[in-house]
Amino acid sequence: MAIPDFQSVMRPVLATVQNGEPLPLNELRERVADQFQLTEDERKERLPSGHQTAINNRVGWARTYLNKAGLLCIPAKGMVQITERGRDALVSGPQRITVSWLKQFPEFADFHTAKPQAADAPAAVELDAAETTPDEQLAEAHQALLQSLADELLAHVRAATPSFFEQLVVDLMIAMGYGGSRKEAGKATQATNDDGIDGIIKEDKLGLDVIYLQAKRWTNTVHRPEIDKFIGALTRQRARKGVFITTSDFSVGAREAALGLDIKVVLIDGVELARLMVENNLGVSVKQVYEVKQLDSDYFLEE
């Protein structure tokens, strides 16, 4: 069974504590996971941030929403207990408790509605009542922004001159930690007589080994003959490592050509190139930083 969305988790959370006894949150999470017969892999599946498992996040937000609606209370730190309203919901409520259904309770509607900060601000805006938790919505929005940025970045790279692209490839390798500095670590080869090599970069600051680069600012798919030519160029240079980067993609034959060699050849297509540029802050700048904070429970420990 797939991991349930957090709205599908809410009624099982209530049912788990229906006997009225306080239950530790960790035990609640385990029991809910058992109810949905989640596999070990599903229990370990994490959010894009990597900070929390998906099922723990969804049970946690279900608890928060139910608590804000008065169906659950938190009698002590890390504990959960059902209320009379929660028992009524199990008897007369829907089989699937949703955010929309919880809005009948004024305290929840007040919690779930974003309040304008200024007197002349527009009317209150309803927060998204999607199937995902706020943490997941934030992560999804972040991923969508990254994808949009990567698409825009790749379009600019494809519009650049070949010489600019060759230097960009060297800059990317330096940004990823190879060599140490632009002056000492890498250089783009001359446009003429490059023997199929577009760039050379030291693998480390001491220059104990070098990596040879090939850069293709293409829109068409790179096929096997181009990879074979690059491998031939590496062989003539007695090189052991090479990176072939393109703004397009590679055919299956091209990828197969780079396998099973004494020479190590890494292929980076346009999608991966854009991702690496964003990840290493090459050609992009930080627009806005949002801090997502959580409760520091250690602060509240009394000796």
Residue 295: exposure state from Cβ atoms within 10 A (0-12, 13-18, ≥19) = exposed
pLDDT in tens, 59-94: 988 998 999 899 999 898 788 999 999 999 999 999
| Contact call for residues 20 and 81 (beta carbons, < 8 A) | yes
Number of Cβ within a 10 Å radius of residue 111: 16
- Is 69 or 125 the better-scoring residue by pLDDT? 69
Number of Cβ within a 10 Å radius of residue 51: 11
Angle, helix 25-35 to helix 54-68, in steps of 10 degrees: 110
- From edge to edge, which strands make up the β-sheet containing 186-188? 186-188, 199-202, 210-216, 241-246, 264-268
pLDDT of 41 strictly over 60 = yes
Average pLDDT over residues 16-45: 94
Calculate the alpha carbon distances from 123 to 107, 112, 115, 145, 200 in Å.
Answer: 18, 14, 8, 26, 58
Percent with pLDDT over 70 in the chain? 86
| Contact call for residues 127 and 113 (beta carbons, < 8 A) | yes
> What does the longest C-alpha to C-alpha distance in the chain come to?
82
Confidence of residue 186 (pLDDT cuts 50, 70, 90): low
Per-residue pLDDT at 162? 84
Per-residue pLDDT at 118? 43
Confidence of residue 299 (pLDDT cuts 50, 70, 90): low
Average pLDDT over residues 9-17: 95
What is the spatial distance between Cα 271 and Cα 194, in angstroms, rounded to a whole number? 26
What is the spatial distance between Cα 92 and Cα 109, in angstroms, rounded to a whole number? 20
Per-residue pLDDT at 137? 81
| Contact call for residues 264 and 241 (beta carbons, < 8 A) | yes
pTM: 0.61
Number of Cβ within a 10 Å radius of residue 122: 7
Handedness of CA 231, 233, 236, 238 (dihedral sign): negative
Per-residue pLDDT at 264? 94
Average pLDDT over residues 224-231: 94
Average pLDDT over residues 40-48: 89
pLDDT of 245 strictly over 90 = yes
Calculate the alpha carbon distances from 186 to 166, 173, 200, 204, 300 in Å.
Answer: 11, 8, 6, 10, 52
Per-residue pLDDT at 222? 95
Q: Are strands 79-82 and 23-24 parallel, antiparallel or unpaired?
A: antiparallel
CB burial readout 60-94, b (16+ within 10 A) else e: bbbbbbbbbbbbbeeeeeebbbbbeebbebeeebe
* Lowest mean pLDDT segment, chosen from 48-57, 160-169, 266-275, 294-303: 294-303
Per-residue pLDDT at 119? 41
- Is 102 or 300 the better-scoring residue by pLDDT? 102
pLDDT in tens, 127-172: 444 567 888 888 877 877 787 788 888 888 988 888 888 888 888 9
What is the spatial distance between Cα 77 and Cα 236, in angstroms, rounded to a whole number? 68
Domains and CATH numbers, the chain: 9-104 (1.10.10), 151-280 (3.40.1350.10)
pLDDT of 269 strictly over 60 = yes
Per-residue pLDDT at 184? 56
Confidence of residue 123 (pLDDT cuts 50, 70, 90): very low
pLDDT of 43 strictly over 80 = yes
Secondary structure (DSSP) of 188-256: EPPSSS-TT--EEEESSTT-SSEEEEEEE--SSPB-HHHHHHHHHHHHHTT-SEEEEEESS-B-HHHHH
